[in-house]
Amino acid sequence: MTERSPAPGGLALVEALVNTLDIESGADALDTAEGRTRFAITGDEGAEQARALRESLRAVLLAHAGHPPHRAVPPLGDLLISAPLVVTVDPADGSAALVPADAGSLHARVAAAVAESLVAGTWTRLKACEAADCHWAYYDRSPAGRGRWCSMQVCGARAKMRRYRAKDAQGTARPGPVVQNAEDAGSAD
């Protein structure tokens, strides 16, 4: 996990919610009053609902990156079905938007963010790091949209080192001696 610029628009809320849990250390910001206040969560039940939403979002973000979820979670659509949105139309320019019917509802705010990002074409760019000890949410700004890690310097480097070590253990990471021509191969000078 690393600090990056936040995802655009409403996806910043989704990214921030998913990143309330540091999988590596086990620290959960939703366990703190400050963390709950940040997302307007009240009570233990509200925190449990927010955790379920967070993990369903993480599963979707893992899917965006081409990975299966790390554990079984309720489908995101099931959690957002009761999050009513309303259409607003700006009288000045006629632009329309879906907004939460209840601005205090975390589920409705997330549903509005998903809808906004679908229209903007940015939804599938929000991903979860493929590192099993991370799964940090990040916005993939790579030109081809094929980013795999929240940070190439941390999670990407660790993954590449693990791959290298696995190849080394199999004897395929280090090339043998370079032979320039047949005469050099037979000389013992």
- 165 pLDDT above the threshold of 70: no
The predicted model gives 154-166 an average pLDDT of 60
- The tokens for 109 are 């705010």
The predicted model gives 174-184 an average pLDDT of 51
CA 141 → CA 21, 65, 97, 127, 189, distances in Å?
Answer: 22, 13, 24, 11, 55
Listed in sequence order, the DSSP H helices in the chain are 11-18, 33-38, 43-64, 76-80, 106-120, 157-169, 182-186
- The tokens for 131 are 């590192």
Greater confidence, 147 or 22?
A: 22
Q: What is the mean pLDDT of the chain?
A: 84
N-terminal to C-terminal alpha carbon distance within the chain: 53
Q: Provide the 3-class DSSP secondary structure of residue 87.
A: strand
Q: Which residue has the tokens 């990407």?
A: 156
pLDDT in tens, 80-104: 999 999 999 999 999 999 999 999 9
Question: Helix, strand, coil shares of the chain as percentages rounded to 5?
Answer: 45, 10, 45
Q: Provide the 3-class DSSP secondary structure of residue 94.
A: coil
Greater confidence, 154 or 188?
A: 154
- The tokens for 7 are 């995802």
pLDDT band of 185, cuts 50, 70, 90? very low
Say how far apart CA 1 and CA 23 lie, in whole Å.
10
> Cβ of 52: how many Cβ atoms within 10 Å?
16
The predicted model gives 23-31 an average pLDDT of 94
The predicted model gives 108-124 an average pLDDT of 96
Best CATH choice for the domain 11-174 from the list 1.10.3470, 1.10.3300, 3.90.25, 1.10.10: 1.10.3300
- 52 pLDDT above the threshold of 70: yes
Greater confidence, 152 or 77?
A: 77
Buried-exposed string 86-123: b where 16+ CB fall within 10 A, e elsewhere: eeeeeeeeeeeebbbeeeebbbbbbbbbbbbbeeeebb
pTM of the model: 0.79
- 123 pLDDT above the threshold of 70: yes
Domain boundaries of the chain, sorted by first residue: 11-174
